[in-house]
Amino acid sequence: MPPPPPNAQPVALLIPLVVIGLVILRNSRARRLRIESLWIAPVMILVLVGLALSQQGAPSPLMLGVDIAALAIGAGLGWWRARFTNITVDPASHELTSRASPMGMLVILALFAVRYGVRMYGAQNAGALGLSANAVADGALVISVGLVCAQRLEIALRASRLLNEARVKAGLA
């Protein structure tokens, strides 16, 4: 097998960095928040990750433990990131808007850096850890499930509470 070209690593890193930059730029602007549609992304990611994991058969007890830990880590990070999301309610129209805070955007960058580091370490040391490279990749997928689901749940709960408070103040509830 021929060795990879010398510029393969920077190019492979550049594409995700550009995507993350676009996500950060998009999230820095206030966007309309629809509570009723916050369930769509978690369901989509659950289905896609469920399909990916189902192709590998039953997990070993070690892998099941890794997946549970990854889910808990992802849920914690998702909740933490959602806490930094600014949600506002227009007093007149009761329209919700959300905007990611700079701290929330730093979480995205930190997750990318950690994921990249874990992937490199896992690829080189998976055998020493008693895991396959697929197990390490599955853990990263499960982290994303926890992150997206917990983030959307926290945003939905906070947005609902803020909307109800605004309606009470306006005498509509």
Q: Does this model's pTM top 0.85? A: no
Confidence of residue 1 (pLDDT cuts 50, 70, 90): very low
Segment 85-99 mean pLDDT? 90
Q: Measured between alpha carbons, how far is residue 17 from residues 9, 11, 47, 87 in Å?
A: 13, 10, 26, 27
Q: Measured between alpha carbons, how far is residue 83 from residues 40, 102, 139 in Å?
A: 20, 12, 24
Name the more confident of 138 and 7: 138
Angle at which helices 133-170 and 102-129 pack, to 10 degrees?
A: 160
The rounded distance, in Å, linking the Cα atoms of 127 and 125 is: 5
Which residues on neighbouring strands pair with residue 88, listed in sequence order?
A: 97
Segment 98-114 mean pLDDT? 76
